[in-house]
C-alpha cells in the first residue's frame, strides 16, 4: 500500500514537473512570437515608408523628366528657328552679293563711260567722285565758274548726254566764314546750294538731261581743308560731283 502511494506521489510530481516545463516553453514561444510580430510590423512600416518614398521619387522623376523634355523641345524649337533665321540671313547675303555684283558692273560701266571724256572717277572715304581736269572752286561768297571749270563741265555734260542712264549728284560746299550784312545769300547753306545749282544749270545748258542730275548743299559742314588757314578755306569752297547709283534692295532693312 505504501508503495502504491509513493508511486502515485512520484507520478504526480513528474506530471507537475512536465507541466512546469511546458508552460515555460510556451512563454518563451509566446515572447518569440511577439518579438517576431513586432519586427514584422516594423518591417511592414519601413516597407510602406520606402514605397511612399519610391512613389514620391518616381513622381519627382516624372516631373523632372517632363520639365527636361519640355526644355529640350523648347531648345530644339529655338535651334530650328535659329537655323531658319541663319538660312534667311544667308539668303539675304546671297542676294546682297548679287546686288553688289550688279552695282559693281554698273560702276564699271560708269568708269567705261569716262574712258574717252577726259574725266575720271576717284574713291574718297568710301564714296565715288567724278574728278574734272580742273577742281571746281570759288572765290569767297561767289558761285562764278572759271573758263577751265566750264570746259571740264562741258566734257561731263557730253558724257551725260551720251550715257542717259548715268545719274549725278552735285553737292555744293563752303568755308565757315559767315555772311556779311547785305550779302546775296542768307547763310552758307544757301550759298552751297547756289553753287551746286550753278553747276547743274551749266551742265543742262550743254546738253545734259535734267533728270540725270540732283542738287544738294552741305554748307560748311564737310570741310576738306583747315578753315583756320586761307588755303584750307579755299579748298572748302568747292562743288563735288558724285555718281548717284540706285542701290535698290541693298539699302532696305527689316524682313
Report the alpha-carbon distance of residue 238 to residue 254 in Å, rounded.
Answer: 37
Report the alpha-carbon distance of residue 7 to residue 10 in Å, rounded.
Answer: 5
Residues 109 and 135 in one domain: no
Which position has the grid cell 558761285?
Answer: 143
Residues 167 and 101 in one domain: no
Count of structural domains, the chain: 2
Is residue 244 over pLDDT 80?
A: no
Identify the domain boundary among 113, 132, 157: 113
Each residue's pLDDT tens digit, 189-222? 999 999 999 999 999 999 999 999 999 999 999 9
Give the CATH number of the domain where residue 135 resides: 3.30.1330.60
Is residue 252 over pLDDT 50?
A: no
Q: Which domain holds residue 53?
A: 1-113
Identify the domain boundary among 113, 143, 166: 113
Report the alpha-carbon distance of residue 242 to residue 136 in Å, rounded.
Answer: 13
- Report the pLDDT value the prediction gives residue 100, as an integer from 0 to 100: 63
Identify the domain boundary among 81, 96, 113: 113
- 110 Cα distance to chain centroid: 34
For residue 129 the three cell numbers come to 567722285
Each residue's pLDDT tens digit, 137-159? 888 889 999 888 888 888 889 88
Task: Return all residues near 203 (Cβ < 8 A) that are at least 6 apart.
Answer: 153, 156, 157, 160, 170, 213
Amino acid at each position: 500500500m505504501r508503495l502504491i502511494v509513493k508511486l502515485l506521489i512520484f507520478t504526480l510530481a513528474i506530471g507537475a514537473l512536465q507541466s512546469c516545463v511546458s508552460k515555460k516553453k510556451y512563454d518563451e514561444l509566446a515572447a518569440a512570437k511577439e518579438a517576431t510580430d513586432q519586427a514584422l510590423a516594423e518591417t511592414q512600416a519601413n516597407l510602406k515608408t520606402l514605397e511612399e518614398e519610391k512613389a514620391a521619387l518616381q513622381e519627382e522623376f516624372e516631373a523632372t523628366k517632363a520639365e527636361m523634355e519640355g526644355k529640350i523641345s523648347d531648345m530644339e524649337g529655338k535651334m530650328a528657328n535659329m537655323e531658319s533665321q541663319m538660312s534667311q540671313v544667308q539668303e539675304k547675303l546671297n542676294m546682297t552679293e548679287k546686288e553688289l555684283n550688279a552695282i559693281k558692273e554698273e560702276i564699271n560701266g560708269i568708269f567705261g563711260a569716262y574712258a574717252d571724256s577726259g574725266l575720271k572717277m576717284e574713291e574718297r572715304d568710301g564714296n565715288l567722285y567724278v574728278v574734272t581736269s580742273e577742281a571746281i572752286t570759288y572765290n569767297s561768297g561767289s558761285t562764278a565758274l572759271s573758263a577751265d571749270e566750264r570746259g571740264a563741265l562741258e566734257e561731263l555734260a557730253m558724257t551725260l548726254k551720251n550715257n542717259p542712264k548715268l545719274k549725278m549728284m552735285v553737292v555744293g560746299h563752303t568755308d565757315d566764314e559767315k555772311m556779311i550784312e547785305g550779302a546775296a545769300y542768307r547763310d552758307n547753306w544757301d550759298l552751297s546750294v547756289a553753287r551746286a545749282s550753278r553747276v547743274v544749270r551749266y551742265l543742262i545748258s550743254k546738253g545734259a538731261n535734267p533728270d540725270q542730275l540732283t542738287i544738294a548743299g552741305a554748307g560748311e559742314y564737310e570741310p576738306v581743308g583747315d578753315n583756320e588757314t586761307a588755303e584750307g578755306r579755299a579748298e572748302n569752297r568747292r562743288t563735288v560731283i558724285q555718281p548717284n547709283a540706285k542701290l535698290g534692295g541693298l539699302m532696305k532693312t527689316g524682313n
